[in-house]
Structure 1
């Protein structure tokens, strides 16, 4: 029987409005997460509350205004569309929660519990594993569960960066949106500090040099950088593209610490000089379009590329609520739902 089962889709989150105070509140929760800025609390507070929150909210609020829709935040709106489509395929409840701001993970779990759910499949909507994404979602969900819902069982869907159903879905989505002629396809992933790669590697076998390209290495299941390159290589193979026509880069770095390279902004400024005049960009670390894709890449990134001598810039949207992506979500959820019967 499935009457005590439920599904919780978890995404990053968004400010509740474009007002500076709302953006400040959101950034405070987000950046004060020790999985995002992994300094000791006092140093994190000095950086975030002493510096960043005094300068960044107004700029971020202005950026959010350029992507905000009549329905609200693009990320929230798209996640709600995914929820609605997935709910149409299930007789069990499907809810959403955000790691930061509202609706919270706690609110999502509570909604499920109020509908009689005691076993939850929680789906972090991140293809690749990272300390600042999958890990912090699971940690927060477990904190909420132990404190408020100790009898509830949660099963977590693992990163799916290399699952063929996902790779095929992403490749087909890209294929349909690629311009007929292009010089390069750039895969821009959200960046993380280099130290995060080492911190999330319990095997201590990662060196951020040649191990990412090995067929197997104990650190691969925890290494965000490897998983990004694996996703890229598998998609390239599905598309039948030569590697020399593709680029991998990492965006959205914060502060002066060393982040994984190459950086997207620097790449956009240099590739026109290497003959790339028509560029297509996709952002496979995100499954839903958001500020980082709609503003940072398709607006700021486009300006950087064209200013550096590029001629044509084509942003390829995320999977969003495409039916083929809903198929993938359903398949992965079904696998976890079936596991409940094997325990």
Structure 2
């Protein structure tokens, strides 16, 4: 009797990316690749080139390099995003050690390069490839661009295997539980303000989700429906409600805000302004979540953990305490395993 061949699956975990080092030359290369992506800065090519290569890079690269150096210093001389992503890959692979599943890791920008990693996967001749961007909430500038690049590479192959894609997991039980487990490291009742800070997006990015009308016309702060299903803002609020429910928090107990803006036409309220206003109101202790990030990085460790904390203290506050990202917490690996198994 002919033996039935076992089907082989390749899993591609995709993170945003990181400079190869905190040297100015490496930071410059990273920022140029990142900011020239039309899904990140969705201007016409000429305008985007002028803005990025003529203004942002020349005037901001030195300051960005200082911040990345600070991140490296605070993280033992390495990129925490890369370190935690590699740990995720290893731990997820262990969950499939006795199965025909191989886990790979690539960055949308810089290294490990998606071109090189997918070429390795092509040579493995998998029956199926599962594309899993590590972004809980969908945004064109994160999960969208990661999926687009992977598909653009794969579509050039002569043999294209079965493809399955994870678009988001903003409400996955194990992801929510991983965030909640991280909170257990702190006495939540000892904080007088709770902040859920998500990475910001230009207003026009969420507006493009809708065929008619704007994001502000939708009840994104209170519900997720068929129309705003893929709206980043709506998913952020949905994630927050799920976490708050597990923690026994009411809507009056926390504030959702958005960080890392480039100008005023981004999602509001702005996290840094919320922290500033709370300090002026006499708040002393802030507990800050960053659920959009599943690996601690510049935006969590430096922007929230250092900059917001220092600014808060200057205005009379005592502490902005960052709740660590899910990183390689076992419950988050449970989430990744479940996402993969559901698509096998």
Is the contact between residue 289 and residue 320 of structure 1 (CA under 8 Å) also seen in structure 2? Answer: yes
Q: 1:36 Cα deviation (Å)?
A: 0.5
Superposed displacement of residue 151, structure 1:
1.6
Counterpart for residue 71 of structure 2: 67
Match of 1:311 in 2: 318
- Contact map agreement 2:285 2:317 (CA 8 A) in 1: yes
- What secondary structure does 2:70 align onto? helix
Are 1:117 and 2:126 counterparts?
yes
CA distance in 1, matches of 2:53, 2:319: 40
Count, aligned residues: 335
Question: Which secondary structure state, in structure 1, belongs to the residue aligned with residue 342 of structure 2?
Answer: helix
**Is the Cα–Cα contact under 8 Å of residues 174 and 332 in structure 2 kept in the other structure?**
no
The 1:214/1:322 distance shift into structure 2, 3 A limit, reads closer
CA distance, structure 1, for counterparts of residue 304 and residue 221 of structure 2 = 27
Root mean square deviation of aligned Cα: 1.8
1:104, distance to aligned residue in structure 2 (A)? 1.8
1:237 to 226, 233, 245: 245
In the TM superposition, what is the alpha-carbon distance from 1:46 to its structure 2 partner? Answer: 0.3
Report deviation, 1:70. Answer: 4.7
Indicate yes or no: 2:281 matched with 1:274: yes
Distance 1:51 1:213, change over 3 A: closer
| Shift, 1:242, TM fit | 2.6
Deviation at 1:75, TM superposition (A): 0.6
Q: Does 1:155 pair with 2:159?
A: no
Which secondary structure does the structure 2 equivalent of 1:330 belong to?
helix
Residue 153 (structure 1) shift: 2.9
Residue 211 (str. 1) matches residue 219 (str. 2): yes
SS at structure 1 position matched to 2:132: strand
Structure-2 change in CA distance of 1:187 and 1:75 (3 Å):
same
Q: Offset at 1:206?
A: 4.4
Query: Which sections of structure 1, spanning at least 5 residues, go unmatched?
Result: 338-343
Cα gap change, 1:283/1:83 in structure 2, threshold over 3 Å: closer, same or farther? same
- Classify 1:71/1:277 alpha carbon distance in 2 versus 1 (closer, same or farther; 3 Å): closer
Deviations 1:51-87 (A, max 9, x none): 1111211111111111214563111111001101111
8 Å contact kept, 1:10–1:96: yes
Within the candidate set 235, 247, 250, 2:255 is matched to 247
Does the C-alpha gap of structure 1 residues 2 and 222 become closer, same or farther in structure 2, counting only changes over 3 Å? farther
Distance 2:158 2:37 in 1: 22
What SS does structure 1 have at the residue aligned with 2:195?
strand
Which of 300, 320, 332 is residue 325 of structure 1 equivalent to?
332
The residue number in structure 2 matching 1:173 is 182
CA contact (8 A) 1:7 1:120 kept: yes
> Would you say 1:76 and 2:82 are equivalent positions?
yes
Q: 2:306 and 2:83 mapped to 1: Cα distance?
A: 20
- 2:192 equivalent among 180, 183, 198: 183
In the TM superposition, 1:278-297 aligns within 5 A as 278-297=285-304
The answer for unaligned runs of 5 or more in structure 2 is none
State how far apart, in whole Å, the 2-side matches of 1:40 and 1:52 are.
16
User: What TM-score do you get using the length of structure 1 for normalisation?
Assistant: 0.92
Look up the SS of the partner of 1:187 in the other structure: strand
Provide the C-alpha distance between the structure 1 equivalents of 2:126 and 2:218, rounded to a whole number of angstroms. Answer: 46
Report if aligned partners of 1:122, 1:156 keep a CA contact under 8 Å in 2: yes
Does the CA contact (< 8 Å) of 1:126 and 1:159 recur in 2?
A: yes
Q: 1:296 to 1:149 in 2, by over 3 A?
A: farther
